[in-house]
Amino acid sequence: MNEGCAWSLKDRAAPEENFLTQIDLKSAVRQQRESLKALFAQPLFDLAQECAAIMDDRAAVEALLSAALKSLGTCKHLFALDTGGHQFVDNITRKGPNPAHFGRNRLDRPYMQGLGGDVDFALSEAYISRNAKRPMLTAVQVVRGADGARLGYIGADFDLRELPGTQGIYTESQDWRQIKGDPAIRGGLFAQHRAQSLMDDRLDDVLPLMAELMAEHGVFHGKLHFSSSRATIWLMDDPYVYRILNFDDLIDPDTCLAYPRRPYSERAIVPPDEVSAVFEMFRELRFADENIYLRAGSLNVINGMVAMNFSCDGSHYIRYDEFLANGLQFWFGKLL
């Protein structure tokens, strides 16, 4: 991309850039986990200190956990285990004690792993709970006596729905990604041939109409389904709902009258005059080979990404400028 271009990515930062965090998915998860560890570690350490003198008294431990639960607003359950990992108290819940898990051996559960040696606190990876069937986290704190000997464990369960969110929305990667599809389709690739669709016969009408909708009528994401002769579009005015355009809609310029004129989005990464170029490249990929051909292609002008699905059931995600810079030889060398 021309770095001096008015549509350069670095020059056109999104207005919501303080909300869109410049990290990837894994980093966003890691960042949130570190925040939650900092939030839970001290309260559970303090609770373990109080429990240390009464770990041999079930009733006293249950009473202490019941009182502590009130100050741990996002905690679903508290429980205590002996050194062998056996639960010797009821689950302490917001609705009162629940005896269902009394006596349960939790030593082999994932949240109990990694607590050997001097490690006294662990926050589990998220998991689907056996009972509620929802994503949960469990924090476990080792209870030690005055002499440092391990006396047991205090555990706290948290429902992901109720945890405080400290992270922004991460930024999706713009690196080219290839995802292989159904092996059965790939195995029979050369036994099939492209069938001429209604859309194939009228691309001189369809492609300019789609480019017009995106450049002048507030469509920020458009997907052409070449094989089934339809399109799906998303509008800036109503981004939560997609609309389906059938073949007759796509060859009728009057369709533009159904969508009000809108200025090209200030958030768009794709320059407006490159929208048509992307769709024309779709045409090339559709007709370049009778066995390996484009079935569907989409463009999002906000994040600048092109997505494609081919007859081999492979999917590709790539930035529009990289997509336009690569010729047909690049694609047909990468599809198999």
Q: Is the pTM of the predicted complex or chain greater than 0.85?
A: no
pLDDT of residue 71: 80
Report which of 19, 5, 7 is spatially closest to residue 170, judged by C-alpha positions.
Answer: 19
pLDDT of residue 100: 85
Contacts with 239 (C-beta within 8 Å, 6 or more apart), sequence order: 220
**Average confidence (pLDDT) per 10 residues, the chain, 336 residues:** 32 39 66 80 91 93 92 86 93 89 87 83 82 83 92 90 61 61 54 86 96 96 96 95 95 93 94 95 90 92 93 84 85 59
Q: Are strands 238-245 and 230-235 parallel, antiparallel or unpaired?
A: antiparallel
Q: What is the DSSP letter of 105?
A: B
Domains of the chain and any CATH numbers: 20-162 (3.30.450.20), 173-334 (no CATH)
**Torsion, CA 125, CA 126, CA 129, CA 135, rounded to 10:** 180
List Cα–Cα distances, 101 to 87, 126, 253, in angstroms. 7, 20, 66
pLDDT of residue 74: 80
In the block, which residue shows the tokens 């999706």?
A: 172
Structure tokens at 158: 């948290």
Sign for the pseudo-dihedral over CA of 320, 326, 332, 335: negative
pLDDT of residue 34: 81
